[in-house]
Amino acid sequence: GIYVFDAAFLARTVAIDAARPESGHDFAADVLPRLIDSGRVFAHAFRAENGSARAYWRDIGTLRAYWQAHMDLLGPAPLLRLDDPRWPIGRVALAPQILSPSTTTADGGTIEDSLISTRCTIAGHVLRSVLSDAVEVEPGADVTESVVLPGAVIGANSRLRGVIVDTGYRVAEGIVIEQCAETGELPVLSTHHGDATVCAPTH
């Protein structure tokens, strides 16, 4: 299995188990069951419900894989269901459902097949995209198949397709940025110099 722990908590847990003479000191047989009984443990069912479909797993070690993992969350039959009642992970929903009490759609704003987090303001068009907390999409902007991180602003009348927008980045008004058709490079808009691969934008 794959486990995610707070490092200090894990160190304390292993030390406690090491001091128990009756323990076999096996993580799966001794440590984890004791944590389930005494701590807060959350699990994701990696095995498919019907046993026939392949369970979801994706290595996100590259920017393209990171982008693709977000795209996998979209559509009527996503590869990974964020609304699985057995695995509550937060307040996100697929449009056109209610997205969040603090997400607003201004006049002319539209959302299709997207995941929108809290405190977003959508005055443009968002299609098959994942928007993190407090993202603003200004009037006339078009965001398609993109991943937008917290606090970013998509300028008015801009167009993004297949782009990753870094935290707090402001996309200029009227700019057009898309994945490079010739090279397949994934545009990443970031304020950190040297971290971005950006195709030459056109207006």
Q: What is the pLDDT of residue 62?
A: 86
How big is the chain, counted in residues?
A: 203
The answer to whether residue 196 scores a pLDDT higher than 60 is no
Residue 102 lies in a domain: yes
| CATH code for the domain in which residue 164 is found | 2.160.10.10
- Are 25 and 77 in a shared domain? no
Q: Which residue has the higher pLDDT, 4 or 22?
A: 22
Q: What is the pLDDT of residue 35?
A: 87
Q: What is the pLDDT of residue 43?
A: 73
Compute the average pLDDT of residues 170-196: 80
Q: What is the pLDDT of residues 29-76, one digit of tens each?
A: 888 888 888 877 877 666 655 555 567 778 888 889 999 999 998 888
Residue 157 lies in a domain: yes
C-alpha 195/C-alpha 83 separation (Å) is 33
- Are 106 and 19 in a shared domain? no
Coil, strand, or helix at residue 64? helix
What is the band of 89 on the pLDDT scale with cuts at 50, 70, 90?
low
Q: What is the pLDDT of residues 135-162, one digit of tens each?
A: 999 999 999 999 999 999 999 999 999 9
Give the domain range for residue 113: 63-203
In this prediction the pTM is 0.70
Q: What is the pLDDT of residue 97?
A: 40
Residue 85 lies in a domain: yes
What DSSP character marks residue 91?
Answer: S
Number of domains in the chain: 2
- Are 68 and 164 in a shared domain? yes
